[in-house]
Structure 1
Amino acid sequence: MNDLAYVLTIATGIATAIVGGVLFAFSGFVMKALARISADRGIAAMQSINIAVQNWLCSLLFFGTGLTCIVLMVWSLINWGLPETGYVLAGGVSYIFGGLLVTGAFNVPLNNRLAKVDPVSEEGHIVWRRFVPVWMVWNHIRTAACIAASIAFITGLLEM
C-alpha cells in the first residue's frame, strides 16, 4: 500500500469509527431518552438537534469521510489483487451505501418531515409516534454500516 493510501486508510478507519460512535449514541440512548419524555419536548429536542448538526465540523466528518472512501475505493480497484484491497473496497462501499445513502434516503427525509410539525400539535404527536421507531431502524442500519466500514479499513491495514 502506498503511503497516501496508507494514511487515508488510517484516517478513514478512524473517521468511520467516529461517525459510527455518534450514530451508536443515538441508537443506544439519545433516541431512547427522547422517546421517554413527552412528544412535544421530544420533537422540539430532535428539531434542535437536526439544526445543530448542520455545521462545518459535522459536515467535514460525514462528507469528508465519504470523499476519502471514494478515493480509497478507486485506489482499491486500480490496485486490485493486493491483500488489503478487498477490505478497503468493502469499507468504502459499506460507508457510502450504509452510512451516507441510508442517511440521505431515509433519516434526512424523516428529519425534514419532523421539522415541519408543530411540537404541540396533534399532527406532531402522530408524526412523532411513527418517527421514533422508523428513524431508529434506519439509524441502526447506518450505525452497523459505519462500524463495519471501520472494521474493514482496520483489517485492510492489518493485511498489508
Structure 2
Amino acid sequence: MLQYLITQQHYFALKLFSALGCGLIAGVFFAFSSFVINALARLQPAQAIAAMQSINITVINPLFMAVFLGTAVACILLFVSSLLRRHQPGAIYLLVGSLFYLVGTFGVTIVFNVPLNEALARVEPDSTIGASLWSSYLANWTIWNHIRAAAALAAAASLTIALCYRGAQY
C-alpha cells in the first residue's frame, strides 16, 4: 500500500512539474513575442543581430535548459502513461497536453527556431548579408515563436486540467 501511495505521489508530481514547466516556457516565449522581438525590430539590423546572437548564446544555460528539456522528458513520460491509462478519467488531457508541448513547442523549436538561430549566428552583424538575413529572420522566427508560445500555453492548460482528475493520478 505504501509503495502505491509513493508511486501515486510521484505521478502527481510529474504532472505538476510538466504543467508548471509548460507554463514557464510559455511565459518565456510570450515575452519574446510580445516585447523582446519588437524591441529588437526597432534597432538597426547590426545592433539587433548582435543582440539576438548574444541572447541565443545566453539562453543555453543550465536553468533554462533544465526546464525546457526536463519538461520535454516529463511530457514523454506522461504521453506514454496516458496511452497505457487511456481509459482513465483525464488521460486524454495528459495525451493532448504532452503532444502540444512535444510537437508544438519542443518540435517547433528544434525544426524551425534553432536552424534560424544557427543561420543568424554565422553572419557578421554589420554585413549586407546580415542585414538581408535579419528581415527574413525576424518575420520567420517570430511566427514560429508565436506558435510555440501558444502550444506551450495550451499544453499547460491541458495538463492543469488533467491534475483535476483524481482517477487519472495513477
**Alignment TM-score, normalising by the size of structure 1:** 0.97
What root-mean-square deviation, in Å, do the aligned CA atoms of Structure 1 and Structure 2 show?
1.0
Shift >3 Å, 4+ stretches: none
State the Cα deviation string for residues 24-60 of structure 1 (Å, max 9, x = none). Answer: 0000000000000110000000000000011111111
User: Where in structure 2 are the equivalents of 1:47-126 lying within 5 Å?
Assistant: 47-126=53-132
After TM superposition, give the deviation of residue 2 of structure 1 in Å: 2.6
Distance in structure 2 (CA, Å) of the matches to 1:71 and 1:4? 12
- The correspondence of residues 140-155 of structure 1 with structure 2, limited to 5 A, is 140-155=146-161
Aligned length: 160
**How far apart in 2 are the matches of 1:85 and 1:137?**
31
The structure having more radius of gyration, on CA atoms, is: 2
Which runs of structure 2 are paired with 1:121-136 in the superposition (5 Å)? 121-136=127-142
Matched, 1:40 2:46: yes
1:96-145 residue CA offsets vs partner (Å, 9 max, x unmatched):
00011100000000000000111001000000011001100000000000
Percent identity over the alignment is 41
The letter of the residue matching 1:73 is F
Q: Of the candidates 143, 164, 168, which is equivalent to residue 158 of structure 1? A: 164
Name the CA distance, whole Å, in 2 between partners of 1:140 and 1:159. Answer: 30
Equivalent residues in 2 for 1:8-19, closer than 5 Å: 8-19=14-25
Counterpart AA for 1:74 = V
Residue segments in structure 2 that go unaligned for 5+ positions in a row? 1-6
Shift of 1:90: 0.7
